[in-house]
């Protein structure tokens, strides 16, 4: 019991000491995240596709599934964007590169004070501005702690409803009546590790709402890990508010993607129908 009280006291002292140092109006930080997603190859042909073909697709999609993002944040706002880097020769060119870029998240702005999310998104040549309220998760504080770099982190978990396909375009041939039986959504567990040494309720992607910056996050097949943090850099960046594209809600944008995905799936199956190459 005494040990538990001491632990809570240390946590409270850590929080208040950090809160004082981060209270300055011009405070800003930058966090670099490495994001990796494993691919369910059943979405790309299942038993109909050779292992060689699956490996080829997995290699082509590697650049889309392994990325580095930068989160620039202050007390109430953040801007999350993929870090710019040189494209590998042949890695993102041609029709394949154009298609994959349409399924890559664009720059995202979060304002936790106003509960606002804005994201610029290009999808098959059309530019959209997704404008919506911040998605809320019912975080459950767990009792576990661990060290990530120099930061003491605490565990929190939540349940989230997501697209059953994982957001990856599926070209798999369904069996008889499978389309009617396959669930459209699924429940996943989200595990986050946050640090109260940086007392801002920001995090990577559209995750937020904890009493400290999220440094690690695991959600289904995706792991996001913070690799570097810079606090109060000498040259501060403007936290940009996205403004380009046709304004649309997140639900409306998901419907656009769903319609286009189904169209491409039907075209793909039609091309393989009459004895086409698999």
pLDDT tens digit sequence for 66-109: 899 999 999 999 999 998 766 555 445 555 555 555 567 789 99
Q: What is the pLDDT of residue 49?
A: 67
Residues of the chain with pLDDT under 50: 1-6, 8, 17, 20, 90-91, 169-171, 178, 273-278
Q: What is the pLDDT of residue 72?
A: 97
Distance CA 147, CA 59 (A): 33
The DSSP output letter for 49 is S
SS3 70: strand
Q: What is the pLDDT of residue 277?
A: 43
Q: What is the pLDDT of residue 273?
A: 46
Q: What is the pLDDT of residue 278?
A: 40
Run of H or E residues at 3: helix 2-21
Q: What is the pLDDT of residue 182?
A: 53
> What is the CB neighbour count within 10 angstroms for residue 232?
13
Whose tokens are 């995706």? That residue is 222
Contact 253, 121 (CB under 8 A): yes
Q: What is the pLDDT of residue 14?
A: 57
Whose tokens are 């190859």? That residue is 41
What's the sign of the alpha-carbon dihedral 264, 269, 275, 278? Answer: positive
Distance CA 16, CA 24 (A): 14
CA angle 32, 104, 120 (to 5 degrees): 85
How do beta strands 77-82 and 66-73 pair? antiparallel
What's the sign of the alpha-carbon dihedral 225, 228, 229, 233? Answer: negative
Reported pTM:
0.78
Bridge partners (DSSP) listed for residue 229? 31
Tokens of 44: 């790309």
Distance CA 208, CA 269 (A): 40
Distance CA 4, CA 217 (A): 26
Query: What's the half-sphere exposure (Cβ side, CA atoms, 13 Å) at 201?
Result: 13
Distance CA 57, CA 39 (A): 10
Q: What is the pLDDT of residue 209?
A: 96
Whose tokens are 């997140």? That residue is 250
Tokens of 188: 């996943």
Residue 114 CB-density burial (10 A; 0-12 exposed, 13-18 middle, 19+ buried): exposed
What are the strands, taking DSSP E only, across 196-243? Answer: 213-219, 222-231
Going by C-alpha positions, the residue among 140, 135, 134 that lies closest to residue 194 is 140
User: Which parts of 88-232 fold into alpha helices (H)?
Assistant: 94-101, 178-181
């Amino acid at each position: 019991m005494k040990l538990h009280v001491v632990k809570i006291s240390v946590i409270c002292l850590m929080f208040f000491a950090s809160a004082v140092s981060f209270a300055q109006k011009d405070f800003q930080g930058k966090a670099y995240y490495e994001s990796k997603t494993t691919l369910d190859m059943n979405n790309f042909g299942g038993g109909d596709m050779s292992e060689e073909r699956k490996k080829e697709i997995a290699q082509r999609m590697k650049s889309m599934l392994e990325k580095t993002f930068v989160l620039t944040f202050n007390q109430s706002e953040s801007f999350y964007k993929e870090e710019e880097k040189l494209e590998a020769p042949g890695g993102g060119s041609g029709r394949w590169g154009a298609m994959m870029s349409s399924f890559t998240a664009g720059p995202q702005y979060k304002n936790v004070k106003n509960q606002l999310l804005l994201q610029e998104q290009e999808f098959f040549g059309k530019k959209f501005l997704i404008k919506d309220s911040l998605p809320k998760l019912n975080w459950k504080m767990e009792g576990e702690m661990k060290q990530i770099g120099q930061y003491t982190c605490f565990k929190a978990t939540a349940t989230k409803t997501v697209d059953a396909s994982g957001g990856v375009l599926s070209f798999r041939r369904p069996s008889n009546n499978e389309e009617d039986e396959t669930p459209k959504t699924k429940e996943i567990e989200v595990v986050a590790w946050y640090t109260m040494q940086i007392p801002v309720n920001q995090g990577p992607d559209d995750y937020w709402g904890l009493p400290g910056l999220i440094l690690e996050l695991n959600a289904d097949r995706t792991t996001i890990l913070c690799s570097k943090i810079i606090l109060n850099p000498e040259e501060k960046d403007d936290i940009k508010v996205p403004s380009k594209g046709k304004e649309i809600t997140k639900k409306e944008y998901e419907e656009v993607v769903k319609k286009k995905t189904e169209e491409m799936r039907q075209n793909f199956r039609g091309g393989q129908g009459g004895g086409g190459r698999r």
